Amino acid sequence: MKGCCVMREEEEEEEETEWSTDCRDTQEEESDRARAEMELIVLSGGILVLPVFVFIASFLFWPGSLLKAYNWFWRQRLGLLVRYSHCGNYRFCYSSRGTPRDATPTLLLLHGFSASKDMWLPVVNHLPRDLHVVCVDMPGHEGTSRTGAEDYSIQGQVTRVHQFVQSIGLDKRPFHLVGTSMGGNVAGVYAARYPAQLSGVTLMCPAGLVYPTETEFIRRLRELENTPQVESIPLIPSTPQELDDMLKLCCYTPPKLHRQVMQGLLDNRIPNNEFYKEVFMELVGEKSRHLLQDNLHLITSPVQVVWGTEDQVLDVSGAAVLEARLPNCQVTLLEKCGHSVSLERPRKTANLIMDFMSAQEVGCENSKKLS
């Protein structure tokens, strides 16, 4: 009997052992399943959270990179493609949309001092999608080759822009040239040197004139001429306060930017400040300062002038100078607008350019009919 009891007890212990083993296996399987589900949830959440995390981290720690990414996104949305062309070893960087058409001239846009091709994004946003638009980085700026002072004077820039025009075949038919500030000086001199290539030219607050009324900025430049070593230039900020002052100088209504955005703008500009100083000193030198004024008598293309009445950089009185010297000149003054016309009035700028181009096309058609 004792043997039977022992056997029964042993069997019961074996059953309990098997049952506990099965329970452990089941628990481990459930634990593995739960862990796998948690990993899937974390992974799925990570796919959603990661871009948000990257955005926040970039905004806090790398705002300059975030601004570049924003411009990239905006170019993609507008259908602008960044391209490169070459003249020998010299590289031009530009963005473009559309293809040349016989009916409508190509639009070539020249930006101002220390800017880039991306400054035209707000304007391109309001231009017709089927218009062939080209925005080029001026010599030494952004993605275009940075060489030496000979390319940074107005005449040097005109020569390089002409090489760029040839490198992408824009010289095969007349195109419309637009330039603002420094780019306006270049565009005007280009019109004087290469009139046959243009259907018209738009000058927005152009540099290079003798202004009947001088701004405080111009008077400050005269002081800089007599300074052996230039430490501070209003258009070349090195601190958030100097950047804020520059925006107030260039805009009648300065954009209200978050301090991190301001820091991002500075982060992208400061590495280029020495280059900007070199360019600036070339622009205010004797060879470039009044080069547009000196070439006005050679301009035969139809000219459109757009100027902000509150321009604190280059006084609006320059518009009267152009109107008096250029017979085919159409002047538009924008109220409550400063020097940065393309930033403050992008829609108006785009409409004015398109209206002017359309008027020139109608004029050409009427001339053909009369002939």
Token readout for 151 is: 């390319």
Q: Is the confidence at residue 313, as pLDDT, over 60?
A: yes
- Tens digit of each residue's pLDDT (9 = 90 or more) over 201-223: 999 999 999 999 999 999 888 77
Q: Is the confidence at residue 178, as pLDDT, over 80?
A: yes
- Tokens 């785009």 -> residue: 350
- Tens digit of each residue's pLDDT (9 = 90 or more) over 254-283: 999 988 889 999 999 999 999 999 999 999
Token readout for 111 is: 């930006």
Q: What is the reported pLDDT for 277?
A: 94
**How many Å apart are CA 326 and CA 349, to the nearest integer?**
21
Q: Is the confidence at residue 80, as pLDDT, over 60?
A: yes
Q: Return the active site residues.
A: 181, 311, 339
Residues 6 or more apart whose Cβ sits within 8 Å of residue 176 = 105, 106, 107, 108, 198, 199, 200, 201, 202, 353, 357, 360
Question: Any idea of the CA torsion for 323, 137, 85, 91, to the nearest 10 degrees?
Answer: 120
Nearest to 109 by CA among 235, 209, 202: 202
State what percent of residues in the chain have pLDDT above 90: 70
Q: What is the reported pLDDT for 46?
A: 45
Alpha carbon of residue 296 to chain centroid: 29
pLDDT, averaged across the chain = 86
- Tens digit of each residue's pLDDT (9 = 90 or more) over 151-161: 999 999 999 99
From residue 297, how far is each of 177, 190, 202, 293 by CA, in Å? 18, 13, 17, 8
* Phi, psi of 110, deg, nearest 5: -110, 120
Q: What is the reported pLDDT for 191?
A: 98
Catalogue the E-assigned strands of the chain. 81-87, 90-97, 107-110, 133-136, 175-180, 198-204, 303-308, 329-334
